[in-house]
Amino acid sequence: MCALLYLCRITEPYIDRKDDSFQPDGEFKANLKNSVLFIYQWFLQSCVIFVNYQGRPFMISLRENSKLFYMLCFMFFVVFSAVTDQSDELRETLQLTKLPNEEFQFELGKTLILDFVLCNSIEMIVRKVYLGANGYSVWGYAY
């Protein structure tokens, strides 16, 4: 939630509220805010799958599930291609606007990476606390 609020805040200086893209009932037009939030939403969904994937003993591990692993790698690659503005075709296909400058791109990329690292760290800590050192949950069930 903090990352979402921060990304909304850093887009504000670059937004013209009189732009047609902010009409509530108007036709969709890409603007900086909805482009950044789309990138974040895409990144967040990829992170949720990556962080919450359990693997053994209930499912195969992420490395063994090569289709999912490569799809997640591809998703992260597309997100960072959009952040670094590598391809005009990608931007047009996804209906994104051009990011204002390199400083903004760096700030957006840094926020995404920090969000991923914090989410993954919290998940690992909670898993260790919940499962304990011996691999048993606090209720005595083996995982």
Of 17, 3, 98, whose CA–CA distance to 47 is shortest? 3
Which of 100-126 are b and which e, b meaning 16 or more Cβ less than 10 Å from the residue's Cβ?
A: eeeebbebbeebbeebbeebeeeeeee
- Specify the pLDDT at position 143: 47
Which of 9-47 are b and which e, b meaning 16 or more Cβ less than 10 Å from the residue's Cβ?
A: ebbeeeeeeeeebeeeeeeeebbbbbbbeebbebbbebb
Identity (one letter) of the amino acid at 68? Answer: L
Q: Is it the case that residue 58 has pLDDT exceeding 60?
A: yes
- Specify the pLDDT at position 117: 94
Asked if residues 15 and 7 have their Cβ atoms less than 8 Å apart, the reply is no
Over residues 101-126, the mean pLDDT reads 91
Q: Is it the case that residue 38 has pLDDT exceeding 50?
A: yes
Over residues 32-36, the mean pLDDT reads 88
Single pTM value for the model: 0.80
Domains of the chain, by residue range, sit at 2-14+27-131
| CA 34 remoteness from chain centre | 14
Banded pLDDT at 45 (limits 50, 70, 90): very high
Residue with tokens 């996804």: 94
